A and B are shown apart, each in its own frame.
Chain A
């Protein structure tokens, strides 16, 4: 059974700081996704990572994948308040298996 674990579960940061969210998974997969969810809203796709060493960047967010370590990271650079949301990683088979989410709060 595929298990996906994220940490931390909750992250409170000051604006301008950097931080990394970690996503570990238990079995091999050829795709890993990162989604963002705002309170009361659905999930917005941020990144899809397809191969070992893949790195994708969008604005202040950068995601990477190490398939050998079964680890993906989501790095936040110089956080701003608008990044406050819950971030999920999801590992793909026929369906997606999600981590428990990281609730990010960026304080002014």
Chain B
């Protein structure tokens, strides 16, 4: 596709449930990033993939959060035992080669997660 796509656009779940959020990056982009944006704040980094491997997962808040990118393209962010504090917009971004001097991250529309 022309841009980064994310599904679902909205997800409402109950506390304690498991959720999966999907990201389709721009075709040919090797780097993929997940960010979380709370209301009225800037996005906060969660995890960065270069190809299939997680190059930096230092932003994941705890072990309830996990992400995969098994074939180096689509990525899934998985949240176990959701808590109300997990409610936010989860943004995915991709870039051509992850950190080159002129590399720009292109963002998807986000998934709005609401934990009741």
Q: Secondary structure at chain A's binding surface: helix, strand, loop or mixed? A: strand
Q: Knowing A48-B104, A95-B59 touch, does A43 contact B43 (C-beta < 8 A)? A: yes
Complex Cα distance, B96 from A31, in Å, reads 16
Q: How many residues of B contact A (CB 8 A)?
A: 24
Complex Cα distance, B54 from A10, in Å, reads 36
Q: Knowing A42-B107, A94-B55, A95-B59 touch, does A31 contact B101 (C-beta < 8 A)? A: yes
Closest to B105 in A: A96
Task: Check A45 against B91 for contact (C-beta < 8 Å).
Answer: no
Task: Check B45 against A97 for contact (C-beta < 8 Å).
Answer: yes
Query: Closest Cβ of chain A: how far from B112's Cβ, in Å?
Result: 9
Contact of A95 (CB < 8 Å), options: B41, B45, B104: B45
Q: A48-B102, A88-B42, A96-B43 are in contact. List 20 more A-B contacts (CB 8 A).
A: A4-B42, A33-B105, A42-B107, A42-B108, A42-B109, A42-B110, A43-B43, A43-B107, A45-B104, A94-B56, A94-B98, A95-B56, A95-B59, A96-B33, A96-B35, A96-B45, A98-B42, A98-B44, A99-B42, A101-B41
